[in-house]
């Protein structure tokens, strides 16, 4: 579905923000909420209780929807077989063990198609459809650049390190619903660990405690560490700055590996994104770093140059690129004026922050993905999607 269409679409989609503590239910039309959010406790220790809460929440939403909903679409933790709506063994919802057919259950209860996906995937899709990707392409158009982007890597930094990939308006899930699992890339600074251990709330607290010489239980939360780094709160400023610098280097290394394959823009969301001024410089520096070959020669880590799109100077250079007009060569006599074509010889990618906010991006991703699926009629009788 074209990115601009969703704002004019009159269909209502019921959504859910599913966490380990609370379920937040809403309904979206034209990309915007149309009712007040309904919040219910998750009841994570008992499966039947948890499922009843899910059904109850959507029933309450349906009762106050301005019109009958066309679908249900929401983010839910994995592992899961998302296309078939089956949730696997969840860490923060222990009652889901052995596989629970949540999508088919809700489809049977409400008689509408049900679409479930990972929050990292839906964050990326929301930013691709109505956030970061169209924003940057709009800036390029306004600058007179012929360059446009159609691929996006979305990353969330918070309790964990989430990711999602969008290619030409399509969410890329992989054959096991596990594409974009950036948290499992190797941790550059601790190679026996995965990247999430250096790119999460617990990582920031751990590095601060280590550098400040304090026991980990005494380490403040990242929001406080952020304030300490800015000199707005008492504490070990050097340790706070280093905690976020290491976060940037770790995320930059993981993004470098992923962007080598994706070759597109990268957008960052999540609770830690508010401290971007402290980690984005190290992140982009890592993307623009070099490999050293056996003969001592150096080559760029990425074929494309990376830009911090939150830095005004780098954004201006990114938008300008190397734009010029080149003449079309002639190999035989021709009449008329020589023809020129626009050319931008600077291969580049950019990294920046969510333009929607993480929660809004996830909700918009769920909504627009549901519309895309409905438009294709890609729904089976068992609640699975077929693409």
Supply the pLDDT for residue 20. 60
Q: How many CA atoms lie within 13 A of 50 on its CB side?
A: 20
- Which pLDDT does position 384 carry in this prediction? 46
Summarize pLDDT for 58-83 with one digit per residue, the tens.
999 999 999 999 999 999 887 888 98
The angle at the Cα of 81, spanning 116 to 156, to the nearest 5 degrees, equals 60
Per-residue pLDDT at 123 exceeds 90:
yes
- Res 131 pLDDT > 60: yes
Name which of 109-113, 131-135, 322-326 the model is least confident about: 322-326
Query: H/E/C letters for each residue in 52-108?
Result: HHHHHHHHHHHHHCCCCCCEEEEECCCCEEHHHCEECCCCCCCCCCCCEEHHHHHHH
266 forms bridges with which residues in the sheet? 153, 351
pLDDT score at 378: 57
pLDDT at 2: 41
Domains of the chain: 5-117+362-376 (3.30.420.40), 132-355 (3.30.420.40)
Q: What's the rounded mean pLDDT across residues 120-145? A: 96
Q: What is the pLDDT of residues 72-117, one digit of tens each?
A: 999 988 788 898 999 887 766 677 777 899 999 999 999 999 999 9
CA–CA separation, 58 vs 36, rounded Å? 13
Average pLDDT score, the chain: 91
Is the confidence at residue 4, as pLDDT, over 60? no
Residue 143: both structure tokens together: 């600058």
Whether residue 197 is predicted with pLDDT greater than 70 in this model: the reply is yes
Helix axes 201-212, 237-262, angle to 10 degrees: 140
CB-neighbour burial class of residue 310 (10 A; exposed 0-12, middle 13-18, buried 19+)? middle
Q: Of 149, 178, 145, 346, nearest to 267 (Cα)?
A: 149
């Amino acid at each position: 579905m074209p990115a601009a269409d969703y704002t004019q679409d009159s269909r209502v989609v019921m959504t859910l923000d599913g966490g380990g503590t609370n379920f937040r239910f809403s309904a979206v039309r034209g990309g915007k909420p149309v009712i007040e959010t309904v919040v219910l406790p998750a009841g994570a220790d008992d499966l039947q209780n948890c499922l009843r809460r899910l059904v109850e929440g959507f029933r309450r939403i349906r009762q106050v929807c301005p019109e009958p909903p066309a679908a249900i679409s929401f983010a839910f933790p994995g592992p899961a077989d998302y296309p078939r709506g089956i949730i696997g063994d969840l860490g923060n919802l222990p009652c889901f063990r052995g596989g629970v057919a949540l999508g088919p259950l809700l489809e049977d209860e409400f008689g509408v198609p049900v679409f479930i996906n990972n929050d990292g995937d839906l964050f990326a899709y929301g930013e691709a459809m109505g956030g970061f990707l169209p924003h940057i392409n709009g800036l390029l158009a306004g600058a007179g650049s012929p360059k446009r982007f159609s691929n996006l890597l979305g990353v969330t930094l918070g309790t964990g390190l989430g990711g999602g990939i969008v290619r030409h308006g399509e969410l890329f899930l992989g054959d096991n619903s596990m594409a974009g699992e950036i948290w499992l890339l190797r941790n550059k600074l601790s190679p026996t660990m995965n990247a999430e251990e250096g790119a999460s709330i617990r990582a920031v607290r751990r590095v601060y405690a280590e550098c400040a010489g304090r026991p980990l239980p005494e380490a403040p939360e990242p929001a406080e560490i952020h304030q300490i780094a800015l000199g707005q709160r008492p504490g070990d400023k050097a340790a706070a700055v280093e905690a976020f610098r290491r976060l940037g280097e770790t995320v930059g290394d993981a993004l470098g590996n992923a962007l080598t394959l994706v070759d597109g823009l990268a957008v960052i969301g999540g609770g830690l994104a508010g401290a971007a001024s402290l980690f984005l410089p190290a992140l982009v520096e890592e993307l623009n770093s070099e490999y050293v070959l056996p003969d001592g020669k150096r080559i760029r880590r990425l074929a494309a140059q990376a830009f911090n799109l939150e830095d005004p100077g780098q954004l201006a250079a990114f938008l300008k690129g190397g734009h010029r007009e080149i003449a079309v060569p002639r190999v035989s006599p021709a009449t008329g004026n020589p023809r020129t074509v626009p050319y931008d010889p600077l291969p580049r990618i950019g990294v920046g922050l969510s333009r929607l906010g993480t929660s809004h991006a996830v909700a918009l991703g769920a909504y627009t993905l549901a519309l895309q699926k409905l438009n294709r009629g890609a729904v089976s009788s068992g609640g699975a999607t077929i693409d």
